[in-house]
Amino acid sequence: MELRHLRYFIAVAELRSVRSASEQLHVTQPAISRQIQDLERAIGATLFERTPRGLMLTAAGDAYLFEAREILARVDAANRLARQIASGSRGRLRVGFVENAAWSGIVSNALREFEQAVPQVALELQPMNTPEQLEAIVAGRLDGGFCYRVGVLPEGIASVPVLEQNVLLAVPDAWPLGKTGAVSTTDLREIPFIAFPRRVYPAYYDRLLSACAERGLTLDIRQEASTETAILSLVSAGIGAAIVNAANRDRPPARVRFVDLKDLSVPLPLEFCYAANRANVALDRFVDRLR
C-alpha cells in the first residue's frame, strides 16, 4: 500500500465519482479504479457500493475515510516539520552559560534576538561552569555554550569570540582596603582569601596563581567555594577577599566592594564554544547571528 492509494480513495469518496476524481487528480479513470481495487484487496473489505446516485461508502469505507484523512494529515505535518528543521526555523538548541556571562548585554541580547527571530526553535538554557560545558558539548548533551576559555579547547570544538573580561578584587565593605581606589598586589599580602578549589577549573586556577606568583604574591587561601556566587557570599560575610571575574561588577552583592587591581591581569576571553562537526541547522543559524 502506498500513499497514492489513500489519496485516490479520498478523492473518490469525497466526489462520489471515479470520473470526477480522475479530472481532479489528472489520472486516468482505469488507473484510479485499479488502485481502489488493489486497496480493497489489501484491506480485505469493500469500501464502495455502486448506486444510481453514484458511488457510496460502505460502513467500512466510511470508517476508513476518517483514518485515511488522519494519516495523510500526519504525513503532511511530518513533511513540514522536516523542512522546518532542515532550514533551521524549527528544532532544539541546547546552550550552556556561565551565570555571570549572561549579565553582559551581548549574551542576553544574542539569546533574546535569536528567540525572536526563530521562535519555533526550543532554546534550552543550562547554567554551568566552563569545564562542565565543554564536557557536555563533547558528550553531545549541549550544542554549545558561553565559556570563559583559558587554555586549549578540546578537539572538535570551535568557538566564536564574544568579549574579554579580566579580574578584580572583591573585599568586605567594612575593610579599609581599596576605599581610596585601585590597589597593588603588594597590598594583598597577609590577608585571607577565598578561591575556587583547583578541581573546579584547573586551567584558570593555575593561571591565576601563576599571575599572582609573577608579582611576588602567594594567596593565603583560607576558604574554598565552588561558585563565584558562593565566594562572594563569603566575602560579604567578612571571611576574606577574593579575586573574581570583572563581570560581577554588574551585580554587586550587599556588603561587598569591588576594587581594581593596578598590576594584576588575568584575561578571561568569553567565547561561544560549540561542536564543530555536529549537524544542527539551528546551531548554525545561532552561530551566524552571533558572528
Domain ranges of the chain: 3-87, 91-162+269-290, 167-266
Q: Is the pLDDT of residue 103 over 80?
A: no
What string of DSSP letters covers 237-272?
TTS-BEEEEGGGGGSPPTTEEEE-BSS----EEEEE
Q: Which fold has domain 167-266?
A: D-Maltodextrin-Binding Protein; domain 2 (3.40.190)
Helix (H) / strand (E) containing 93: strand 91-97
The average pLDDT across 231-252 equals 93
The pLDDT score that the predictor gives to residue 131 is 93
The residue ranking higher by pLDDT, 55 or 274, is 274
Q: How far apart are CA 18 and CA 166, in angstroms?
A: 77
- Other CB atoms within 10 A of residue 69 CB: 14
Considering only 2-11, 121-130, 188-197, which range has the smallest mean pLDDT? Answer: 2-11
pTM for this model (two decimals): 0.68
Do 167-266 and 3-87 have the same topology in CATH?
no
For all residues of the chain together, what is the average pLDDT? 89
Unique residue bearing C-alpha cell 543559524:
285
End-to-end CA distance of the chain: 49
Q: Is the pLDDT of residue 77 over 80?
A: no
Q: Which three cell numbers stand for residue 93?
A: 538548541
Q: Is the pLDDT of residue 104 over 80?
A: no
Q: 91-162+269-290 belongs to which CATH class? A: alpha beta
234 bridge partner residues: none
Helix (H) / strand (E) containing 32: helix 29-43
Q: Which fold has domain 3-87?
A: Arc Repressor Mutant, subunit A (1.10.10)
The residue ranking higher by pLDDT, 278 or 249, is 249
